[in-house]
């Protein structure tokens, strides 16, 4: 049988206590890079504790964007997982529910506050 394939899904959420600034929206700026590292620090453990932990290969923060309120910052990431018959299947709804639970009802990610209805997992 063929080996595992790498599949991707997107992860989006909004942080309410991270003010969006132009340098945060500029890829490879110092602020973008440091905030990206912090987001990785918080995102990776969520998936390593989820139903796809055995298949999860990582997330990459792609961009930060201005939220509806200028004080909010949207986060867009592309995440990857391996798939084959012996690995857990990706269930978007299950993963969304697990992330919701792990972020206290989509309210907390580490020291960041999340906009309650902003979590999207698209597979």
Per-residue pLDDT at 2: 63
Report the pLDDT averaged over residues 59-83. Answer: 92
Greatest Cα pair distance, the chain, in angstroms, is 50
Per-residue pLDDT at 62: 97
pLDDT tops 70 at residue 65 = yes
In degrees and rounded to multiples of 5, residue 24 shows phi and psi of -70, -30
pLDDT band (50, 70, 90) for residue 115: very high
Report the pLDDT averaged over residues 14-20. Answer: 95
Q: Spelled out in words, what is the top-level CATH class assigned to the domain 5-122?
A: alpha beta
Query: What are the helix (H) ranges across the chain?
Result: 30-48, 92-102
- What 3-state class would DSSP assign to 121? strand
Domain ranges of the chain: 5-122
Per-residue pLDDT at 22: 93
**pLDDT tens per residue, range 34-64:** 999 999 999 999 999 998 888 899 999 999 9
Per-residue pLDDT at 106: 95
Per-residue pLDDT at 82: 87
The phi-psi region of residue 59 (left if phi > 0; otherwise alpha if psi is between -120 and 50; otherwise beta) is beta
């Amino acid at each position: 049988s063929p080996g595992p394939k790498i599949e991707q899904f997107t992860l989006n959420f909004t942080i309410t206590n991270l003010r969006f600034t132009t340098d945060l929206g500029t890829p490879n700026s110092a602020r973008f890079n440091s905030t990206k590292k912090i987001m990785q620090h918080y995102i990776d453990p969520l998936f390593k504790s989820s139903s796809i932990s055995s298949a999860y290969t990582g997330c990459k923060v792609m961009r930060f964007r201005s939220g509806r309120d200028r004080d909010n910052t949207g986060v867009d990431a592309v995440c990857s997982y391996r798939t084959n018959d012996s690995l857990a299947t990706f269930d978007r709804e299950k993963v969304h529910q697990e992330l919701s639970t792990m972020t206290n009802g989509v309210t907390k990610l580490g020291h960041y506050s999340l906009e309650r209805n902003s979590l999207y997992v698209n597979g």
